[in-house]
């Protein structure tokens, strides 16, 4: 009975990982379609709104409250245009330029940047890199963006003065041997978000946009890799895997 129970648990775990793999690939594809539509339908009228505000501002002396509103229009249209520009990478289907990159060096750079950005939270970063890890064939800038998104998420969810983030690289004998683990001791992913975590605009953050993990899914997909996660209260682990180019 114990052996049968163990087999059932293993099968359920494998099915869950396959479902996560399917969900992340589906999310990357849906994000591409969504952003293409958003850029077309929103960016053009935004330019008109921004231009109209600038024309009103040039007409002459405005009352202080009116000037404030015109400046607000300008600021907010710039913010939305900047957001759309940052998303246009989703719709660019041109082949990305790839070279061999050292994952350990990429992660070390990302940790340095994260320590500077979240220094007030006094987070403990524990790094465990496999020095013999082969290089990954990929785009270094996109890999930096991928791990910045994941580690930024971890930094945001851990508690101040009590946050611990572990970064580990390993070579594992599988179809995706180049492996990166990112573990944090935050509150975990809410149950209602787990099935669609990589979808665009899915977030539980007050000021979040729900874009980071969608972008991560797109980057992993463009590198023919895989990303899965396990999460419970006090422990969330993201596992990013890449193939080894022969």
Instruction: List the domain boundaries for the chain.
Output: 3-90, 99-242
pLDDT, tens digit only, all 246 positions of the chain: 554 445 444 554 555 554 555 455 555 555 566 666 666 677 777 778 888 888 888 877 778 888 888 888 888 788 777 767 656 655 666 677 899 999 999 999 999 888 888 888 999 999 999 999 999 999 898 899 899 889 999 999 999 999 999 999 999 998 999 999 999 999 898 888 887 777 765 555 544 445 678 888 888 988 999 999 999 999 999 999 999 976
pLDDT at 40: 62
pLDDT of residue 219: 87
Q: CA-CA distances (angstroms) from residue 181 to 2, 73, 127, 138, 229?
A: 30, 43, 10, 18, 9
Rounded to two decimals, the pTM is 0.67
Where does 99-242 sit in CATH, by number?
3.30.565.10
> Residues 6 or more apart from 114 whose CB is under 8 A from it?
123, 125, 148, 151, 152, 155
Give 127's strand partners.
167
Residue 121: predicted pLDDT: 93
Q: Confirm whether 3-90 and 99-242 share one CATH topology.
A: no
Count other Cβ atoms within 10 Å, centred on residue 24. Answer: 25
* Domain 3-90 falls under CATH 1.10.287: yes
pLDDT at 53: 81
Q: H helices within 170-223, ranges in order?
A: 191-194, 212-222
pLDDT for the residue numbered 238? 95
Report CA 33 to chain centroid distance, whole Å.
Answer: 18
Torsion region of 224: left, alpha or beta (phi above 0 gives left; psi -120 to 50 gives alpha): left
HSE at residue 84, side-chain half, CA atoms within 13 A, is 20
pLDDT at residue 209 in the model: 46
Q: Got the DSSP string for 131-184?
A: TTPPPEEE-HHHHHHHHHHHHHHHHHHSPTTT-EEEEEEEE-SSSS-EEEEEEE
């Amino acid at each position: 009975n114990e052996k049968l129970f163990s087999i059932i648990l293993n099968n359920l775990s494998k099915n869950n990982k396959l479902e996560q793999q399917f969900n992340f690939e589906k999310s990357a594809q849906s994000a591409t379609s969504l952003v293409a539509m958003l850029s077309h339908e929103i960016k053009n009228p935004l330019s008109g709104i921004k231009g109209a505000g600038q024309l009103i501002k040039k007409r002459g002396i405005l009352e202080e409250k009116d000037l404030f509103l015109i400046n607000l229009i300008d600021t907010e249209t710039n913010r939305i245009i900047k957001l759309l520009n940052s998303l246009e990478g989703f719709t660019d289907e041109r082949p990305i330029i790839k070279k061999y990159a050292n994952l350990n060096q990429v992660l070390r750079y990302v940790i340095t940047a994260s320590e500077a950005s979240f220094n007030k939270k006094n987070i403990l970063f524990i790094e465990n890199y496999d020095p013999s890890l082969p290089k990954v064939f990929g785009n270094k800038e996109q890999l930096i963006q991928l791990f910045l998104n994941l580690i930024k998420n971890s930094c945001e969810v851990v508690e101040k003065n009590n946050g611990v983030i572990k970064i580990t690289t390993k070579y594992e004998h599988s179809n995706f041997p180049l492996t990166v683990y990112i573990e944090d001791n935050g509150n975990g992913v809410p149950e209602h978000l787990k099935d669609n975590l990589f979808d665009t605009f899915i977030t539980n953050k007050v000021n979040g946009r729900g874009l980071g993990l969608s972008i991560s899914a797109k980057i992993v997909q463009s590198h023919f890799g895989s990303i899965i996660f396990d999460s419970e209260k006090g422990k969330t682990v993201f596992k990013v895997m890449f193939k080894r180019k022969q």
